Amino acid sequence: MIKIGPAAIGGAKQAEENLNFIKKNNLKAAEVSFTRGIYLKKPDAIRIGKIAKTLKIDLSVHAPYYINLNSKEKHKVIQSKQRIMISCELGHYLKAKYIVFHPGYYGKDSIEETYEKIKQEIINLNDTRKEHNLKPKLAPETTGKINVFGDLDQTLDLVKQTKCSFCIDFAHLKARNLGKLDLKEIIKKIKKFKHVHCHYSGINYGPKGEKNHIPINKKETTELLKALKKINCTIICEAPDTYGDSIKMNKILEKI
Ligand SMILES: [Zn+2]
């Protein structure tokens, strides 16, 4: 079962109309984007969560971009964790399943040091989440730049060791691997999960990995959807025209 949806629901005032549009186009998911700031208040989050539930649209949340769990500056780590927890609290009111975030940077640390620090912070965040009875799962995302923490194996190790969830971004993995996306290998690694939260779009990349997201392409999208067919997953479309390309993806899916 594959559910597809856009990476934005709009502001508090537009959300209802957008969710109805999503439903009308037979899309079954949407991500609430707090990437440039947490813009919803509790009453709106509760209201939007109820509308989404009635329309059977699965919501997830993308936490702000300004997160670095491996910063050498202590206050930056504290602020990063606050941003994740506030996203998680609002996600709870939205009845979202996942809180997606980019975990952090290497800075001058080794791969191992970075991994350890991020691991400890996620364990700590997960404890706080449970103390407050917040339902959404923490989902560190695979990142697109080679010199940024977050390839698939690191992310899956975090899942194993911290019991967090994850978000696999196929465009980012392609950029990290300079255009190569070994779907068979990836499926082998993720097929054991009951549900997988995914991001997808076209991607421009250079020698350092990700440059920017671009529209989806039919051939590549068909290959991806075919490969994911047996996986219970949600795919959030992060192309620049997130609504238009979500609908295109859904049409491709209907023909497979
Ligand atoms: Zn993404």
CA angle 119/136/82 to nearest 5° reads 60
CA of 148 to the centre of ligand 1 (A): 14
pLDDT in the model for residue 14 = 98
> Position of tokens 């390839």?
151
What mean pLDDT comes out for the span 208-228?
97
Q: How many structural domains compose the chain?
A: 1
pLDDT in the model for residue 130 = 97
Q: How far apart are CA 34 and CA 100, in angstroms?
A: 10
- pLDDT digit string, tens, across residues 17-34: 999 999 999 999 999 999
CATH code: domain of residue 123: 3.20.20.150
In which domain, by residue range, is 107 found?
2-255
- pLDDT digit string, tens, across residues 111-129: 999 999 999 999 999 999 9
CA of 128 to the centre of ligand 1 (A): 25
For residue 80, what pLDDT band results from cuts at 50, 70 and 90?
Answer: very high
CA proximity to 32, closest of 14, 13, 5, 9: 9
SS3 101: strand
**What's the chain's average pLDDT?**
97
pLDDT in the model for residue 237 = 98
pLDDT in the model for residue 141 = 98
Q: Number of helices (H) and strands (E), helices first, in the chain?
A: 9, 10
pLDDT in the model for residue 76 = 98
- pLDDT digit string, tens, across residues 157-168: 999 999 999 999
CA of 59 to the centre of ligand 1 (A): 15
pLDDT > 90 in the chain, percent: 100
pLDDT in the model for residue 176 = 96
CA of 213 to the centre of ligand 1 (A): 9
CA of 199 to the centre of ligand 1 (A): 5
What mean pLDDT comes out for the span 54-65?
98
For residue 55, what pLDDT band results from cuts at 50, 70 and 90?
Answer: very high
- Number of residues that this document lists for the chain: 256
CA of 142 to the centre of ligand 1 (A): 8
CA of 124 to the centre of ligand 1 (A): 24
> Position of tokens 């671009």?
214
CA of 194 to the centre of ligand 1 (A): 20
pLDDT > 70 in the chain, percent: 100
Alpha-carbon radius of gyration of the chain = 17
CA of 55 to the centre of ligand 1 (A): 24
pLDDT in the model for residue 240 = 98
CA of 83 to the centre of ligand 1 (A): 17
Strands 167-169 and 137-140 turn out to be unpaired
- pLDDT digit string, tens, across residues 4-21: 999 999 999 999 999 999
CA of 191 to the centre of ligand 1 (A): 20
Per the DSSP assignment, residues forming a β-bridge with 200 are 237
